Structure 1
Amino acid sequence: MMPYDTKSSMTDPQAKVLAPDGADLFISYAWTSTQHQQWVHLLAAHLKMLGYHILVDADVDYGDSLTGFMRKIRHARHVLMIVDENYTVRANNAPDSGVATENRWIAESCPKKSEAWLTVLFKDNPRHRLPDWLAGTNPKGLYFNAYPDVGDFPGSEQLQELWRWLEGLPANDDHATTIATLRERSARLERHALQSSTTRWRDPSLSGKEHFEYSEAPRGEFTFGFGEQEFTLHVSECGDDSIYLYKDPIEAVGVLRPEAAPEDDLAAHLSSGRTVEPRTGETAVLMNKYGALCLVEFLSVRRSSSSPYVAPSIDFQWQVVAGT
């Protein structure tokens, strides 16, 4: 028997099918010491935090039969034996112990299960001793032995191995991912980094013109200028030929409408609200946190469309007002 099988459980229906009361993992261990019990319960708690349904003796409700609880072994998707040296002693020499009872149930269930159903976790067991019924099988297990004299302690790497076993992945992840896949992942990360980089959505010039597909930019923002003359244009989709323009990243926004205020009094066109809705051909007024002003003319506004997908976009030009 090889408890840690490299076969994917996706191809093994027996490894994935759960009975109604089945758990992802049943943990079998010996009550060697209070410290050992705490370690096991901490490991179980960590796996529960990952979202797994774990059965360990701490989950026995008051009034429940421990033997009945042990019978749930047969319904678990996986069984993990935490084998310290005391575990082997009790499994072999204490037939009335909980460990021996669990081992009888595990041994009886093994022939009906996939090879990936059971694995062994060695802890405080440097000689890797096993219960007699497993002797000679030479199972590949999980090694959580600590060697304090050389500063060698189990950690995230061992937990990764445990997770890989639970998910039916190959034991050695060095061979699980091909070079081609690693290269594609690297390229994917680089493309995402370039797309989300703020440098792509920034221009230090005091005036300029831009085609802006704002759904691609972080928070739909484009920044221009620098220092006290820096402005951030924050927009989102509105109507067929209009957008929402937000004051959030700066201080205030407005739309230049000569009928409402003198054209040379730009501050008078600022709105007290959070947004304005400039249309194609209109000019917006922006005021930053330093009180400087900028004019932004919206040359075109394009809504998103599907079949094929076209990102929403605007064409605009800006001019930071000198002397403001």
Structure 2
Amino acid sequence: MVNPNVFISYSHDNDAHKDWVLKLATDLRSHGVNVILDQWDLRLGNDLRFFMEQGLNSSNLVLCICSETYVQKANLGHGGSGYEAMIMTQSLLRDQHLYFVIPVIRNNLGTQKTPLAFGSKSYIDFNDDDNYLARYQELLERIYDEDVKRKPALGENPFSDKNANSITIMTTLEKSKYQNPLMEGTASFDFKNNSGCFTIGTGDYEFVTSWSECGINTIYAYRDKVKLIGYRYGQHVIPDDTDFSSFDFTSRTREVSVGEVLVLMNRHNKFAAVKIINIEIQVRGKKALLSFEYKIYS
């Protein structure tokens, strides 16, 4: 889906609400989403109901901005009586469109977040302006199906006939200790085991980090399981964005110290940053340990 067509349905509650919808639509268009919005596409003299039906039929997805007014109008079945009647009702929302509806909650602190016709559809809550960017990213990922890409590949049954012995079963199960599917978090593991590998993220956002012993408070990082690794001397803070132009990506291996940051690029051209928290080498019966925090950029 290169430039998805997205129709925005909303009620004209007041100027502030219309301005918020306009900003959301503008942000989406700036990120490649072909938004169909009455403020841009409904000209004077055009038939409102025809515009709504055409917008629905030509769109890949429909965003329903579910304010309290929108929900009330949808439940009452009002529609086609001016801009404030720009709502999605069950009569307009045919069954074939139900799967493609994304309810967006805005100016709605009531108990009923979405119209009754939507059933129990999940939604994205934009009520809190402080969380706008986080919710916007979530919405954009849904529009471009990036949320689906995070789903990991289906593994093999560890109890199948060709794997049916206690050693291979235990080895397969123990590998779960060396992975964290979250987009942001921490990891702590014995880097002498599992070939020094620890996996973060899932799907297109999966990164297999690879490590080996170096010295006190230092460790070797390898790009063998990813596409590139980047290092910048003196970088001790995980970057907020993906401007990694100051990092050097030319080496296969890097010596990284406690407190330093390493950037990884996987084979899907996604980025992650890892900050080393603690390194313990194996000595006198004490296990080797590597602890790091990380962030995967979506």
Report the TM-score, using the length of structure 1 for normalisation.
0.45
Instruction: Determine which structure has more spread, i.e. the larger CA radius of gyration.
Output: 1
Q: Which has the higher strand share?
A: 2
Q: Which has the higher contact order (CA 8 A, sep 6+)?
A: 1
